[in-house]
């Protein structure tokens, strides 16, 4: 795993799923967003779905969305969550695949300032 790709996991188990709900966060504000999107596709195709339920979260200058069943679902930045059919989904962990901005600035601040955020432990 590259040095700038960190998997964060939280200590609570999701009550809605038997697996950990993971945000595979990609995109970014630089030209490297293309590489980030490709890396996210690789993670989405290869992650162990017996342990994890991944959702691809795309962050760009103009939007934060979850890609799900061909739709873009807005991310609630106040709780770093989203809703499908009115059901709120909170992430148990984050697999960060953004290179550069906004990883060290905005996105991490929004995630860590969430009212439902619990401090993660990093796994490299």
DSSP per residue, 84-115: ETTEEEE-SEEEE---STTTTTHHHHHHHT-T
Is the pTM of the predicted complex or chain greater than 0.85?
no
- Model pLDDT, residue 75: 95
- Model pLDDT, residue 102: 75
- Model pLDDT, residue 112: 52
Residues of the chain short of pLDDT 70, as ranges, are 1-17, 104-124
Measured distance CA(91)–CA(14) in Å, rounded: 8
Measured distance CA(42)–CA(85) in Å, rounded: 27
Are the C-beta atoms of residues 23 and 80 closer than 8 Å to each other? Answer: yes
- Model pLDDT, residue 78: 85
Measured distance CA(110)–CA(58) in Å, rounded: 14
- Model pLDDT, residue 121: 46
Q: Which domains does the chain have, with CATH numbers?
A: 6-123 (3.40.50.20)
């Amino acid at each position: 795993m590259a040095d700038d790709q960190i998997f964060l996991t939280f200590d609570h188990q999701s009550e809605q799923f038997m697996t950990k709900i993971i945000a595979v966060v990609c995109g970014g504000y630089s030209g490297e967003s293309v590489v980030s999107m490709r890396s996210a596709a690789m993670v989405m195709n290869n992650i162990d779905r017996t342990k994890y339920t991944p959702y691809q979260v795309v962050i760009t200058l103009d939007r934060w969305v979850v890609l799900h069943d061909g739709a873009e679902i807005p991310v609630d930045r106040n709780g770093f969550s989203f809703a499908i059919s009115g059901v709120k989904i909170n992430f148990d962990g984050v697999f960060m695949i953004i290179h550069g901005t906004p990883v060290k600035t905005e996105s991490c601040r929004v995630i860590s300032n969430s009212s439902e955020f619990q401090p993660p432990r990093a796994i490299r």
